[in-house]
Structure 1
Amino acid sequence: MQKQAAIKVKQQFPLIIKRLGINGEGVGYFKKTVVFVPGALPGEEVVAEAKRVHPKYVEAVVKKVRKRSPHRVKPPCPVYEQCGGCQLQHLTYKQQLVEKRDIVIQALERHTNLKIDELDIRGTIGMDNPWLYRNKSQFQLGEGHGKIISGLYSLNSHRLINVPECIVQHPLTNKVTQVVTQILNDFHIPVYNEKTGKGIVRTIVTRVGIQTGQAQVVMITAKKELPRKDTILAEIKKRLPEVVSVAQNINAKKTPIIFGDETIHLSGKEIIEERLEEFTYELSARAFFQLNPILTVKLYNEVKKAAALTGKEKIADAYCGVGTIGLWLADGASEIRGMDIIPEAIEDAKKNAAAHNIPNAHYYAGKAEVLLPKWLDEGWRPDVVIVDPPRSGCDEALLRTILKVKPKKFIYVSCNPSTLAKDLQMLSKAYEVAYMQPVDMFPQTAHVECCVLLVKK
């Protein structure tokens, strides 16, 4: 058998881009080797240059576009090519929705043996205006030209790109982050340096209630002591009347994870409020809440549609966060039991249920794979289980529990097609995929959310 010729670093070669990869990069094949090319689009013919050669694939860059995609556009953001935040600003929005559905299909092809051509995979639900939608920013701090800058790391590096105005962020998050950065500059507060481990402030996390206009700032620090704390708080109050909640979170570890375990309330309220249709939610500093409120309403309505409740069903809501999905469905259920491992989120969920006078929603701190079997033993069996897990997907113990509990319906809300596909493969022992509905929660990025209805075989 003839041995396949190896591709060498810096080698240039022609490449036809077949589809978009899970991270938004162009995917093509050269000498039977898969090649990933950021910035290249499906249908394009490019000259690629190999940057990194791995045993099973090659990472390359575009040297020249010989044949352009009709869907290629000029990205409107001035730092788009340097910043790692967005991956698809160079692709028309209409086509982004098409490619995101294909990203879901690719994950199913890779991780399942489901018959994909027999599945009902619907067109991606998108936004009328796919900009200025994010209600939360987490901007790292660093130094540039002798002053503090805030921004995002360049792709696959720790080079900080100054982002004074991010066009996918809600304008108020940009304003608050920039003013707080300026305050830290004015009072010469030392920023944390990853290499030396010296300095104090690492990250500014800003969240806004888009419907309420309230803003919350969390300063992530490497130490508990925050120099000139009272002066900083007084300046935030003076310069940013929209900020109604300020907190400090301490993260002394050398880690890419933003939040540490200890959060200290510094001034104003401990929460901000956000409204989604008739619901108002209280959000504490670390509580999970969807980043795109406009599409969240569409996503939750898809969950409601999938659940098709009659008023008699018992619902288990795993990874429930502050109770957003459960409260959305409460009027059609006899009882909802939500669970999450973050105690503060459960406290917020209880307050949210009480505030909306929803007596049939109950919330518990703990793991779903522990609580569900306990409830089963007590004689409480859910008709519908809903999960909205983190990017890592469902805990395997939870999936085993689902296969044991066997609710009639299982609704999976996913933010990661790869872990979704792996979990669907395991669930396919007892469940059929009724349909999949991709939702574009994060326009201009390669991320795609998906609502999947599974029914018991």
Structure 2
Amino acid sequence: MTKRKNSGYKKTGKKPNKSQKSYGKKDSAPGNQKGSPSKGKGKGNDARQRGGKSVTAEVTCSGLTTDGKGIAQWEGKQLEVEHLLPGEKAEVLVSKSGKFVNAELKRVVSPSEDRVTPPCPYFYECGGCQIQHMSNDAQMRFKQKTIDALMKPFGKPEPILTMDHPYGYRNKNNMTFGLNKERQVIGGLYAQNSHHIIPMDRCLIHDPKADEIVQTIKDYMKSTKMQPYNEDTGHGFLRHVLIKVGKVSGEIMVVLVAASSVFQGKNNFLKALRKAHPEITTMILNVNTRNDSMVLGNQEKVLFGKGTITDTLCGLEFEISARSFYQINPVQTEKLYSKAIEMADLTGKETVIDAYCGIGTIGLIASKKAGKVIGVEENNDAVKDAIRNSKRNGVKNARFHQGDAGEFMVQMAARGEKADVVIMDPPRSGSDEAFLSSVVKLKPKRVVYVSCNPETQARDLKYLVKNGYEVEGIQPVDMFPQTVHVEAVTKLVRKK
């Protein structure tokens, strides 16, 4: 989850070294090598390749790093190898560059029972899904061990809440357009850590209807003069297509991210797209003239429809704009938010602060069981969305404020005001010390911490535990199957 927040946490101590996190060896029975990458037969254990500095070595994987890479030892060095699983023997290509050692998987000699054939043909090239080569059960165990290790100082986490159907879950998809070497239009995703577009017709974790729409747009571009934007030359029109889908409502938003507001052939394009996909309920032209990695620019124009879509979450209806933050996986979000509300122990009398409230999702859901909800968010557009969502759902006991949540709570404490529960849902960077100290000053009875990054959550929990709180519950949730990401909601109570 990515939201606009306070600056990074400062006095934190050392961050855990991912390369040192091993989760133990797992025995595996010999099996076939389905799904294992192979780049030709190896030349024997530690056979040096002629004319180069690379070395082919046979290694055995002893565990996984927190980012899903296999851990193996070679000549006294720890290797981290993508797509290698615990217990597997494999040939890897080892190369050195100064103090750094890189290892690339060549061939799995004895595969693990946990290895499966990745259903996505782009898996080894894309990098968006890091663990699709693991069975669903292996993914669950990997994420559970990640959470258990990080949260060990605070207690034993509950079993992770997984997803019954772990594909097609994303309600927000972004595809990029460009030209290949033959000057043909391509659309797809950037390869990991690059601006190289991998042409693809289908991403298996995307909503399938969204990918169908992208394919139609790509076909239309090929048959007309609409050109993709070229970052190097600055020429061309279409940069990205962002699609948001209401999983419950069925409403679909298409955002054309272009380099110019001059949309030649606009009427013909809209007519063709709406004819092919009548399920599209609104379309927006977003103009982005920036040269950085930001997808959306500041200028927007609604081409048809109301410019927003709606969707239902935990029984409430939310309006979603092109810029709104809304959880990517609504099926798992219901589990995550329901657990957060359960941990808040609401009886109908409590004053609840929804810090980092965004468009008001958690706060409005909590309002059904709280006495009063106060939402605080720095992004003014998000606050306006939250107020609209409050009115849409007839919520009378929630108020939303634009500003820094930490400063807001310090001011409350200075006025002698109280809050019974603080629900916090920060970005991946976690909270900063200023915010956490404001929680301590306000002295709520309970803090419910929803996190998309357990590493920064563990860091922040350490601060809260040192300053009068104790952890009473930890619930991990698999929000992003096929990837290494895992979220957790934690309940803290103030010591008497």
Report the secondary structure of 2:482's partner residue.
coil
Structure 2 distance, partners of 1:374, 1:340, is: 15
2:171 to 135, 156, 161: 135
Decide whether the 8 Å contact of 1:299 with 1:439 is kept in 2: yes
Decide whether the 8 Å contact of 1:84 with 1:152 is kept in 2: no
Q: TM-score, normalised by structure 1?
A: 0.91
1:441 aligns with 2:441: no
Report the secondary structure of 1:289's partner residue.
coil
Decide whether the 8 Å contact of 2:444 with 2:494 is kept in 1: yes
1:82 aligns with 2:125: yes
* CA deviations over 1:247-276 (Å, ceiling 9, x no partner): 122322222222223333222112101112
Structure 1 distance, partners of 2:456, 2:261, is: 36
Instruction: Give the paired residue count.
Output: 443
1:358 to 395, 403, 417: 395
Q: Pairwise mapping of residues 219-230 of structure 1 onto structure 2 (< 5 A)?
A: 219-230=256-267
1:265 aligns with 2:309: no
2:189 to 148, 152, 168: 152
Report the secondary structure of 1:333's partner residue.
coil
User: How far off its partner does 1:66 sit?
Assistant: 2.7
User: How far off its partner does 1:293 sit?
Assistant: 1.0
Report the secondary structure of 1:407's partner residue.
coil
1:295 aligns with 2:332: yes
User: How far off its partner does 1:373 sit?
Assistant: 1.9
Greater Rg by CA: 2
Structure 2 distance, partners of 1:33, 1:453, is: 40
The aligned amino acid for 1:361 is A
Structure 1 residues 409 and 189: CA distance shift in structure 2, 3 A: same
Report the secondary structure of 1:420's partner residue.
helix
Q: TM-score, normalised by structure 2?
A: 0.84
User: How far off its partner does 1:131 sit?
Assistant: 1.1
Structure 1 residues 264 and 393: CA distance shift in structure 2, 3 A: farther
Decide whether the 8 Å contact of 1:318 with 1:338 is kept in 2: yes
Partner of 1:123: 159
Partner of 2:9: none
User: How far off its partner does 1:69 sit?
Assistant: 1.3
User: How far off its partner does 1:52 sit?
Assistant: 5.8
Unaligned 5+ residue runs, structure 1?
A: 1-6, 109-113
Partner of 1:422: 459
2:70 to 21, 26, 41: 26
Structure 1 distance, partners of 2:267, 2:410, is: 49
The aligned amino acid for 1:45 is K
1:256 aligns with 2:293: yes
Report the secondary structure of 1:81's partner residue.
helix
Structure 1 distance, partners of 2:317, 2:299, is: 26
Identity of aligned residues (%): 37
Question: Over aligned residues, Cα RMSD in angstroms?
Answer: 2.2
Report the secondary structure of 1:350's partner residue.
helix
1:306 aligns with 2:343: yes
Q: Pairwise mapping of residues 234-383 of structure 1 onto structure 2 (< 5 A)?
A: 234-383=271-420
Unaligned 5+ residue runs, structure 2?
A: 1-47
Deviates more, 1:428-437 or 1:92-101: 428-437
Structure 1 residues 50 and 227: CA distance shift in structure 2, 3 A: farther
Decide whether the 8 Å contact of 1:27 with 1:34 is kept in 2: yes
Structure 1 residues 340 and 226: CA distance shift in structure 2, 3 A: farther
Report the secondary structure of 1:207's partner residue.
strand
Partner of 2:438: 401
Decide whether the 8 Å contact of 1:408 with 1:455 is kept in 2: yes
Structure 2 distance, partners of 1:129, 1:177, is: 23
User: How far off its partner does 1:382 sit?
Assistant: 1.8
Structure 1 distance, partners of 2:442, 2:326, is: 28
Report the secondary structure of 2:371's partner residue.
strand
Structure 1 distance, partners of 2:96, 2:163, is: 36
Partner of 1:111: none
Report the secondary structure of 2:271's partner residue.
helix
Partner of 1:198: 235
Decide whether the 8 Å contact of 1:9 with 1:53 is kept in 2: no
Report the secondary structure of 2:93's partner residue.
strand
Decide whether the 8 Å contact of 2:412 with 2:442 is kept in 1: no
Structure 1 residues 115 and 74: CA distance shift in structure 2, 3 A: closer
* CA deviations over 1:289-308 (Å, ceiling 9, x no partner): 11111111111111011111
Structure 1 distance, partners of 2:416, 2:281, is: 45
Deviates more, 1:91-100 or 1:240-249: 240-249
Structure 1 residues 281 and 51: CA distance shift in structure 2, 3 A: farther
